[in-house]
A and B are shown apart, each in its own frame.
Chain A
């Protein structure tokens, strides 16, 4: 292992603090999926489940010092509750070095089916969050005629600004969703004729534009019919290629370094 990432770690143990903890010697980056009925797991729910899985897997997780030590786990760009995802990311700090594959197997075994560990790599310097520039979403809308979906998408493309309103913690907020959308396509579902699929690449920002926001915009400003309750799945999250408008692998850099 050429780079264990330990130089970038914060939290050097303070011997004066209560419960001094072992130092972090390895930082790992993890890609996981949220599938099936477990897409209703909220970000907080996942956090608890993951911490428990770490303990069940008996990983040498690092802890912060202090009266209430917290495990060294940091999350990046979590998907909204109800959305499925093939590409969620987090980082953990360990007090002993382990093979990434061992960690992947042990964690996956300890998590419920539907929360699945896809990939584990040793972290290289630089913040993971900075590499999560955009998301690739696939939104399946049952009982939506494909022709209607195509018309709405072309109406979407012809506008420079589409305002939507979303309930935020501090009340309703109106913001533009059009600028963040890199590409939007309507496809028919090969498995089910009466079902339309929207393929969306969206740039991350503040507030982040979610699949729901795009659907709201399509309905309010582009004439999209309602259809049944849509299910959005994040297929990828990572660096945005400005040439092709595609979303790359945020862990490629770490993988190449090892």
Chain B
């Protein structure tokens, strides 16, 4: 039975909502497949506004991988803005896909990619608008399987009540495997209904079905254990790792929207994984091992992506792009290829060394040398050792001197506030560092107009990192430290305007902390906040800390736990963490030792990068029977085909 488009009902309402272009679809390279010819149908959601969600690489890749397969169909849906939500409720229009405007409830799977926990309330809006019961236990065979992926899915416990399933890690292969299981089950006439298909998915050990696990608690509120509650369900669930990125050169057909979005460029992932070992960085920990794309595949993807999209900028993405074993050749050869073409290249530049300046120079042959970004993360040398960000002050000064002497006028520095063992003094060092940067810049360039922008984010401890046991700094102290820092910089008239500050107050970080390290009891808080109107928590104009704090207090009243318990409390070695049954490949013992090395009162011990030094036993490779995949290949970019 075909499913009707809601567009005829939607169209007359579009003139009354803001930016209607975000709801019409029709992007270049988007696909609408025949509904009846597909046996397995996916609605892929990025739970934020279209302008944020459309450029998301994960969704674009899975959309293409799924649609390439015969018998599988994938469409996209995004969080609708509050004005649209209201219009849809008034007119009874369900959550729809932007491709063919089909109701999300008609699909077999609603796959939601969570890059951040702050999209959880938007999931509830989408489910509710779609007419899908919020709680997994209330769903019937007619409802889609609600599947969570993305980095936040490494601890999906706070949304365990609302999702049917979660997958950890790279999605390319597992979405196809899931499709096969669903296809088979449908072919057989859906034996055993919803629970049977979920059980088949769970049996593989690669799909987490929360409702097949019971969580019990100790009298003090800590978790006693997490155990399967039926036969054939594995005790732990493993993450998925795509090997050989050259075999998966997606996106091949990048989506090009009509609407303006947050990233107006074509992005090529030049590697996955990171072994720098920054202890705060969840992305670096959960995406191991390092897997590089070869220089030739990168060159082909850049060429193809530009031709397919018409974008004029290419971003070379990864967690630390300057670490690619052949980045120098990539930069120089791409620089040669696009010299004089009005095509620009960009590299998220965060590595602090002079080599990065060489790269940046290659990438700015055509354009202006406006700003460079570095991420020392910690203000003092001592703190940088604690977080294993091995950058000395001299490295940083040498690097910025090189930047300013090559004509760059502005340097942006990223830091965090609230790191383990941090004191006021560590944070005040950020200001001293910024002053030295300006002094150095003035000296080497002989100019007065150079600037340094300091961006500070609040540190939020994340699951599957050595800091997963850490106490999060309360928001009052965070704000107080940042106030002192600001005062100390502004009181020095020599630098007043040359140093800019960007930071947020500490409150959103506390809610992110609650959602990051929360357990299943946090689900009721999310629901209460959503019922009270909570939406778009990643947007400062919509976010309300007071609402979250009030609902947390309300929901947790009479229990041994509260908001502080989830956030500012340090955990012990033997506490069962909510995500301990979800296996990121990292060895828990190694994580604990690394945590202890970080906070050693004698001073932190640093860990090298296994790209260049021997293995330091984080556990991922042996656990998953993998190895790092790096070059150099010694190859060159292939010449471009003539148009």
Interface residues, chain A, CB within 8 Å of chain B?
18-19, 37-38, 40-42, 44-46, 48-49, 51-56, 58, 63, 67-69, 71, 81-82, 110, 112-114, 142, 228-229
Contacts and interface: CB of A to CB of B under 8 A. Distances in A.
Nearest to A56: B310
B11 A63 contact: no
Contact of B256 (A18, A41, A46, A52): A52
Given A37-B25, A37-B26, A49-B256, 9 more contacts: A19-B342, A41-B258, A45-B258, A48-B264, A52-B310, A56-B309, A71-B342, A112-B27, A228-B12
Nearest to B256: A52
A81 B24 CA distance: 13
Interface stretch (B13-21, B237-245, B320-328): B13-21
B311 A52 contact: yes
Contacts of A37: 7, 11, 24-26
Contact of B342 (A18, A38, A63): A63
A227 to B, nearest CB: 11
A110 B310 CA distance: 9
A49 B312 CA distance: 12
Contact of B258 (A67, A82, A112): A112
Contacts of A52: 28, 256, 309-311
Contacts of B576: none
B307 A45 contact: no
Contacts of A58: 643
- Mostly helix, strand, loop or mixed at chain A's interface? mixed
B367 A40 contact: no
**10 closest cross-chain pairs (CB), A and B:** A52-B310, A56-B310, A229-B12, A55-B310, A67-B368, A37-B24, A40-B20, A45-B258, A82-B15, A40-B21
B342 A82 contact: no
A186 B336 CA distance: 62
Given A82-B15, A229-B12, A113 B26 contact: yes
Given A45-B259, A82-B15, A56 B307 contact: yes
A55 B260 contact: no
A54 B21 CA distance: 21
Given A37-B7, A44-B260, A229 B310 contact: no
Contacts of B310: 51-56, 110
A56 B312 CA distance: 10
A206 B627 CA distance: 68
Contacts of B25: 37
A45 B21 contact: yes
Interface string B297-316: 00000000011111110000
A45 B21 CA distance: 9
Contacts of B308: 56
B24 A38 contact: yes
A105 to B, nearest CB: 15
Given A40-B21, A55-B312, A68 B307 contact: no
Nearest to A19: B366
B7 A45 contact: no
A58 B264 CA distance: 19
Contacts, number: 73
A65 to B, nearest CB: 11
Contacts of A53: 310
27 contacts: A19-B367, A37-B11, A40-B21, A41-B21, A42-B21, A44-B260, A45-B21, A46-B258, A48-B258, A48-B264, A49-B28, A52-B256, A52-B309, A52-B310, A56-B308, A63-B342, A67-B368, A68-B368, A69-B342, A82-B14, A82-B20, A110-B310, A112-B26, A113-B26, A142-B12, A229-B12, A229-B13
Nearest to A228: B12
A175 B307 CA distance: 47
A46 B26 CA distance: 13
B643 A38 contact: no
Contacts of A67: 367-368
Contacts of B307: 56
A40 B24 contact: yes
Nearest to B367: A67
Contacts of B366: 19
Contacts of A81: 20-21
B15 A229 contact: yes
A52 B15 CA distance: 26
B12 A112 contact: no
A40 B11 CA distance: 10
B643 A40 contact: no
A244 to B, nearest CB: 33
B123 to A, nearest CB: 26
A75 to B, nearest CB: 16
A215 B590 CA distance: 71
B367 A68 contact: yes
Interface string B143-180: 00000000000000000000000000000000000000
Given A54-B310, A55-B312, A112-B26, A45 B14 contact: no
Nearest to A80: B15
A142 B9 CA distance: 13
Contacts of A56: 307-310
Contacts of A51: 310, 312
Contacts of A49: 28, 256, 258
Contacts of A113: 26
B32 to A, nearest CB: 11
B28 A112 contact: yes
Tell me which of B13, B309, B342 has the highest count of chain A C-beta atoms within 10 A of its own C-beta: B342
Given A48-B264, A52-B256, A114 B309 contact: no
Interface string B6-45: 0100011111000011001111100000000000000000
Given A56-B308, A110-B310, A40 B260 contact: no
Nearest to B24: A37
A55 B306 CA distance: 8
A42 B26 CA distance: 14
B309 to A, nearest CB: 7
A108 B569 CA distance: 61
Tell me which of A18, A51, A52, A68 has the highest count of chain B C-beta atoms within 10 A of its own C-beta: A52
Given A55-B310, A68-B368, A112-B26, A48 B14 contact: no
Nearest to B20: A40
Contacts of A48: 258, 260, 264
B367 to A, nearest CB: 7
Contacts of A55: 306, 310-312
A103 to B, nearest CB: 15
A114 B26 contact: yes
A184 to B, nearest CB: 21
Interface in B105-156: none
A40 to B, nearest CB: 4
A18 B7 CA distance: 48
Interface in B457-516: none
A38 B367 contact: no
Nearest to B312: A55
A67 B366 CA distance: 8
Contacts of B367: 19, 67-68
